[in-house]
Amino acid sequence: MNGYFVGVDIGASYTKCVAIDEKEETLRFAVTQTGFDFEESARKVFDEVSKGLNGKALQVCSTGYGRKNVEFANLNKTEIACQSIGCFKEFGVEASIVDIGGQDVKIIRIDVNGKRVNFKMNRKCAAGTGAFIEEIAFKIKIPVEKLEEIAQSATDEITLGSFCTVFTATEILAHIRGQTPLSKIVRGIFRSVAKRISEIDYFSERIVFTGGLSKKGSVLSKMIAEETGSEVFVPKHPQITCAYGAAIYAKETFRASSTPSAKD
């Protein structure tokens, strides 16, 4: 078969695209900021991924908040389903998937066969989401990517109690006024995210931690393990597991239905 299968995940903050072959091996992937034109960002990552690949996209599955806005996709599926497929493919175990997205947190429980048992999302507020980290980073004028390094250097942390991002920022201001060291504050921010996540559901023995904030051995990853009592696993490419799952779904449904190839 001369071609490949594509998953496009249009998230609230980033759009991700993965192309896989028949054996479900990742051929190429690309990530870009979503911005306000979902179709354009989807097309951008799709073109980037398609560049240099032999054959054509046989089937494209879109997922994520913007999944209905991808005109060139043959099918769409929710990010909850795609995340489950992608993570199960990589780890093949019963697990709770913790996906920290730009505007939500998802906890998806999958069984030993990769079947979804349950899923939960954060309630209405931003606490525990990527948006929370971004907002606080902005308030303390530290780039998000620097937070990890700062938190690593801390020996202690502050306690942030609020469910609300704005009120948390106020709590932080009080600590800044009290001359609390920055590293202690940043570590407290990560702890607050881990705590909010641990309150959403109960967890399997293993957690697969995905999303842009996921990193092996990171402060947040360790804190999620501490708060939940579970062992935390991080995928090879934690930001694209959902798009990868969508690509697998595209492949599986292509086989099952022999639908026409993707529009290009």
Q: Is 183 near another protein (CB under 8 A)?
A: no
The number of beta carbons lying within 10 Å of the beta carbon of residue 181 is 15
Closer of 84 and 221 to another protein (Cβ): 84
Report in angstroms the alpha-carbon separations of 223 from 76, 174, 195, 234.
34, 24, 8, 13
Determine contact, residues 207/198, Cβ cutoff 8 Å: no
- Using CB under 8 A, pick the residue from 104, 147, 196, 210 that binds another protein: 104
Closer of 15 and 76 to another protein (Cβ): 76
Closer of 101 and 235 to another protein (Cβ): 101
Closest CA to 121 of 79, 77, 89, 164: 79
Q: Is 56 near another protein (CB under 8 A)?
A: no
Q: Is 115 near another protein (CB under 8 A)?
A: yes
Q: Is 79 near another protein (CB under 8 A)?
A: yes
Determine contact, residues 84/243, Cβ cutoff 8 Å: no
# residues near another protein by CB under 8 A: 19
Site stretch for another protein (CB under 8 A), options 20-28, 115-123, 228-236, 252-260: 115-123
Q: Is 77 near another protein (CB under 8 A)?
A: yes
- Using CB under 8 A, pick the residue from 6, 19, 58, 81 that binds another protein: 81
Q: Is 78 near another protein (CB under 8 A)?
A: yes
Site stretch for another protein (CB under 8 A), options 14-22, 29-37, 65-73, 223-231: 65-73
Q: Is 132 near another protein (CB under 8 A)?
A: no
- Using CB under 8 A, pick the residue from 1, 39, 47, 68 that binds another protein: 68
The number of beta carbons lying within 10 Å of the beta carbon of residue 97 is 29
- Region for 262 from its dihedrals, namely left if φ exceeds 0, alpha if ψ lies in -120 to 50, beta otherwise: beta
The number of beta carbons lying within 10 Å of the beta carbon of residue 238 is 23
Starting at the earlier edge strand, list the strands of the sheet with 14-20: 26-33, 14-20, 3-10, 56-63, 75-76
Least Cβ distance, residue 151 to another protein (angstroms): 29
- Using CB under 8 A, pick the residue from 46, 65, 203, 244 that binds another protein: 65
Closer of 64 and 238 to another protein (Cβ): 64
The 8-class DSSP code of residue 28 comes to E
Q: Is 116 near another protein (CB under 8 A)?
A: yes
Tell me the three state secondary structure of residue 52. Answer: coil
Collect all residues with Cβ–Cβ distance below 8 Å to 170 and sequence separation of at least 6. Answer: 162
Which residues lie near another protein (CB under 8 A)?
65, 68, 73, 75-81, 104, 115-116, 118-121, 123-124
